[in-house]
Structure 1
Amino acid sequence: MVDIADLAARESLVVAIDGPSGSGKSSVSKETARQLHAQYLDTGAMYRAATWWCLDQAINLEDKDLVVATVLDGQLEFSTSPDQEFVRVNGIDVTEDIRTERVSQAVSAVASIQQVRDHLIALQRSIIEAAPRIVAEGRDITTVVAPDANARILLTASEEARLARRGLQLSATATPMAEGAQASSYSKETLKQIVTERDKKDSATTSFTEAADGVDTVDSTELDFAQTVDAVLASVARQVTAKNR
C-alpha cells in the first residue's frame, strides 16, 4: 500500500471527487489536498460564479442563448489553494456572494445548459492539466472532467446526514460536519429544497448519486470529518497502488 508521504511526493497526482450536496466533499477535499500537498479545485464555485455574473447582469435565465453569451463574456479567476479561497468575475471578488441563497436557487438553471458546461469543463481541464498535484471536486469530475484521474471517488452519505450537515454549513456560526455545532436555523423544508431539490435538477445533466465503473464509493454517514478524510486518503492509496501494479 502506498503511504501518504509517497502520494504527497509524486510529481503528478490527480484525485477526482464527486458527490451530492451535503456529502462533505468540499471540506473533505480541501483537507485531502492539504494532506497530499496538492492544489484544490472547487468546480461548483465555477458554476456559482457564472450564475452570479448572469444575475448581476440581470438577464433572463430562461434565455439560454443569452446566458451562454453572458457566461462566455465573464472572466473567471479562482484560487487553487486549499487554504486561501477566492473567486473573481471580471476582477470583482465574489467569494462570499456566490454562496448566497439567491445564487443557490439559480445555479441549476445555468449549470444545466450544455454550452455553459462545455465552456467551464474546458477551463477545469486546463487547470487540472497545469497542476502537478490536484484534488478536484464537483459532480462530474470522475466521469466527464477527469475520467483518467489517478483516483476517482464518489463521496456520499444518507439524506438525513446530508440535510443535517448542510444545515450546519448554512448556519452563521457553524462549519461543515463540525462536532458540537449549533443547530441550523433553517427549516427542514427549506433544507430539503436546497439540498435534495437541487440534486434532483442537477442529476438530469450529470450522474453523481451512484458511482460509475471504476469509481470508489466512500459513505460518510457514520463517519466524522477526520474519519472521512482518512477513508478518502485510503481509497486514493489503494487506487494508486492498483494502477502501479
Structure 2
Amino acid sequence: MDGTLRGVVAVDGPSGTGKSTTARGLAMRLDARYLDTGAMYRAVTLAVLRAGVPVDVAATAADGHDEVVAVALGARLDVSTDPAEPRVRLDGDDVDAEIRGSEVTAAVSAVSALTAVRARLVEMQRRIVRAALDDGAGIVVEGRDIGTVVAPDAGLKVFLTASELVRAGRRDAENTAAGRRGAPDTRADLVRRDTLDSSRAASPLRPAHDAVEVDTSTLDIDGVLARLQHLAEDREMVTGLADVGVGTTGG
C-alpha cells in the first residue's frame, strides 16, 4: 500500500482504455474503495434482456421505450466497493461474469442512454460515494460521466484515452482470457459504442473541463498507476506516505 487516498478520484474514458484495471488498481494501491459504474449499467441492461424486452437503439435513444425503463428502474442492485472483490448482484444473483458477455455489451449503450435510467443510477452512485466519504474513506470511481455528472467536485479527474487499434486489441485479449465471445469486429463495435455514448442527450461521454487526459496507448498498467498516483499526491489527496517510507512517485 502506497499511502491512503482521501477524497474522490474520477476515472472516465471510452471502452478499452483501461479504466477498470486502472481504477481498481489505484484503489487497492491507496487503500480506497472502488466503484465501477459501468457494471451498474450492465446489470440493469441484463435485467432488461432477462425480461425479454427488446432493446432497440432507435426506440430507446429518445427515451420512448417505456418497458425498458420500467424493467431497468425495477431492478434491485447490490454493489460491492471492495476493490479486492468488486461484485455486482442483480435481484440477489451474482452477475459479475454474465454482465461482461457480448449480448449485454451490444445493448448497454442503448439502455444507458435513457435519461430515466441514468438519473436513477447516478443517484445511487452519488449515495455510494457519499457513504464512503462519510466513513472517512477515499474512493476511486470509474465510468463515462464521473467527472462531469456523478462527482463533479472530485479532487482528481482523469480522462483515459488510447488509439482505436490498441483499445480493440485489449478488448479482444480480455475476452479471450475470460473465455468470452467478443464482437465479430471489435474495432467497429468500439467505434459504435463511442458514437452512442458521446452523442446521447443524457450525460454524454466527454472529459470534464478540468480533467487530466492520460493516453494509455504506450503505457503498461504500472505506468498508468504511477501517473495517477503522482497526480493524486500532487493534489495532497494521499496521506501516510512518510509513515510507509514512500516518496512521490515519478510519472
Per the normalisation by structure 1, the TM-score is: 0.85
Amino acid at match of 1:18: D
CA contact (8 A) 1:150 1:240 kept: no
User: Which runs of no fewer than 5 residues in structure 1 stay unpaired?
Assistant: 175-183
More deviation in 196-205 or 116-125? 196-205
Instruction: Measure, in 1, the Cα distance between the counterparts of 2:163 and 2:185.
Output: 18
Aligned partner of 1:59 in structure 2 is 53
Say whether the 8 Å CA contact 2:126–2:151 is kept in structure 1: yes
Residue 43 (1) aligns with residue 37 (2): yes
Q: Which moved more, 1:106-115 or 1:64-73?
A: 64-73
Match for residue 164 of structure 1 among 169, 177, 183: 169
Which piece of structure 1 moves more, 121-130 or 85-94?
85-94
User: Helix, strand or coil: the match of 1:110?
Assistant: helix
Pairwise CA distance, 1:185: 8.5
Counterpart of 1:199 in structure 2 is 194
- 1:110 maps to what in 2? 111
Aligned residue among 130, 150, 171 for 1:145? 150
Tell me which residue corresponds to 2:205: 208
| Residue 28 (structure 2) pairs with residue 31 (structure 1) | no
Query: Once the 2 structures are TM-superposed, how far is the Cα of residue 186 of structure 1 from its aligned partner?
Result: 5.8
| Equivalent residues of 1:42, 1:136 under 8 A apart | yes
Structure 2: state its 5+ residue gaps: 238-251
**Superposed displacement of residue 27, structure 1:** 0.4
**Offset of residue 239 of structure 1:** 3.2
Q: Superposition pairs for residues 181-192 of structure 1, below 5 Å?
A: 190-192=185-187
Question: Identity percentage over the alignment?
Answer: 39
| Structure 2 SS opposite 1:16 | strand
AA in 2 matched with 1:196: V
Do structure 1's residue 135 and structure 2's residue 140 form an aligned pair?
yes
Conserved? CA contact 1:18–1:154, under 8 Å: yes
Shift of 1:238: 2.2
In the superposition, the TM-score normalised over structure 2's length comes to: 0.83
2:233 corresponding residue in structure 1: 237
Aligned residues: 224
**Which deviates the most, 58-67 or 142-151?**
58-67
* Cα offset, 1:60, TM superposition: 2.7
Residue 97 of structure 1 is matched in structure 2 by 98
Per-residue deviation, 1:193: 2.9
Q: Distance in 1 between matches of 2:124 and 2:181?
A: 36
The answer on whether the counterparts of 1:17 and 1:136 sit within 8 Å (CA) in structure 2 is: yes
Q: Residue 58 of structure 1 aligns to a residue in which SS?
A: coil
Question: Is the CA contact (8 Å cut-off) linking 1:59 and 1:66 kept in structure 2?
Answer: yes
CA distance in 1, matches of 2:182, 2:51: 29
Cα shift at 1:87: 1.2
